[in-house]
Structures are given as structure tokens and as C-alpha cells.
Amino acid sequence: MEPAGTLERGLSVLRVLAGEPRRRAATDLVRATGLARSTVDRVLATLVHLGYVRAEGRDLLLAPRLMELGEAYLAAGGLRDALSPLAERLAEELDESVSVAVRDGDGVRFIVQFTRRRAMSVAFRVGDLLPADRCAAGLALLDPAAPWAEDDQLIEPGLVAVAVPVRDPAGPPVCAVSVVSHTSRHTASGLREHALPRLRETVADMETALTRP
């Protein structure tokens, strides 16, 4: 199937606007996408008309309507609704941050996040895409035969994490759950000893939850 050029150009503009900084001028989008100025102007006019981009003077930024698409994805698979209560319970029990991530191309995208103050980080936000080989959740999904994976400050100095894959009844992993902490509290091995037993129990509960109709 051939890609639709107009849609591809529109998505390239949206991806740039989703990065940092959040506000961009049209000239920034031309440089970042490599598209002609006339093309960028046409794409922006369409996105503004549809409500996905907002113009504030010369600044362009994503509009809240885009949340409809993200929310539709999160609701469609049922993963978030099924796993969020268990992830939140684990975060409360361990007093550590807990994330759920799914594969997205060569990376992993976070669909659930419960953050505790001791491990605050901009690296783990719902919707963020991280390289699969640079975070515990990604490593757990890259090697599903391994019972767990850990991240010793791979993605951000001071952050350590341990993750376990969640499998569907057929066997392949559908996501990974990670517990994230800070080196001021735990080393990577210390976090593993502290969190892995409860993490494994929680993942078992999640796998049971996914089998329910």
C-alpha cells in the first residue's frame, strides 16, 4: 500500500509540534520537516481548520482536540482500563513510580504512569516514546524470554528501573510494567531486590485481568 503523501506531510508537522519547544513558528516547521513553505502553510491551514493545531500570533502549537485521538487509542485496546488500578496499587505499596509501556516501532510508548515524588522525571510521561534499548520496559519487550530487565541510568542519570513483561493468554508480551526509582533511594540491584517480588505478583494479577471478558 502506497503512503498518502498529504497525510504523511501532515503527520510530519504534527510530530515536530509534539516535540520541544512546544511553540513553533512556520519557518521552524519548514526547517524541521524539510517541506516547502507553501506545503507547510497548506498543511497548517488544514490542521488549524480541523482543530488539531492552534495559532497564537506567529506561534503554532498543538490543540487539545488531539487528545481525542490519543484517548481513543488508549480506550480501544482496554489495556489502560484493565491495568491502571493494579499499577496504581503497586506504586502506592512500593512508594515508587510505576509505568506501563507498549511496543511502538523501534521504541516503547508509555500508556500508564503513576509518579511518586522520589522519582520525578520528564523521561516517563504518558504518550512519550523512548528507545526500546534505553529503558527497562523496552528491554523487557525486546527479550520476552527474560523474566525481567533493568535500567541502570540508561535513559537519564540518577534513574534506575526494573521491568517485567505482561503476556496475553497466547504467550507473547502485550506490554511491560516498570518500577522507577532514583539512585538517592536505590541502586539498580537494590531496586530489584526491593521491587521485583511485588512487581511479579502484580504482573500475574494483570495477566489474569486481561483474560476476563
Domain 69-211: which topology?
A: Beta-Lactamase (3.30.450)
Q: Would you say 170 and 176 are in contact if contact means Cβ atoms under 8 Å apart? A: no
Per-residue pLDDT of the chain (213 residues), as tens digits, is 344 578 888 888 888 888 777 788 899 899 989 999 999 999 999 999 988 889 888 888 888 887 777 766 666 567 888 899 999 999 999 999 999 999 998 899 998 999 875 545 545 678 788 999 999 999 999 987 889 999 999 988 999 999 999 998 777 899 999 999 999 999 999 999 999 999 999 999 999 998 876
pTM as predicted: 0.74
**Cβ 30 vs Cβ 44: under 8 Å:** no
CATH for the stretch 5-64: 1.10.10.10
Q: Are 166 and 211 in contact (CB under 8 A)?
A: no
Nine-digit cell string for 184: 538517592
Helix, strand, coil percentages for the chain (3-state, nearest 5): 45, 25, 30
Evaluate whether 5-64 and 69-211 have a shared fold: no
- Give the start-to-end residue ranges of the domains of the chain: 5-64, 69-211
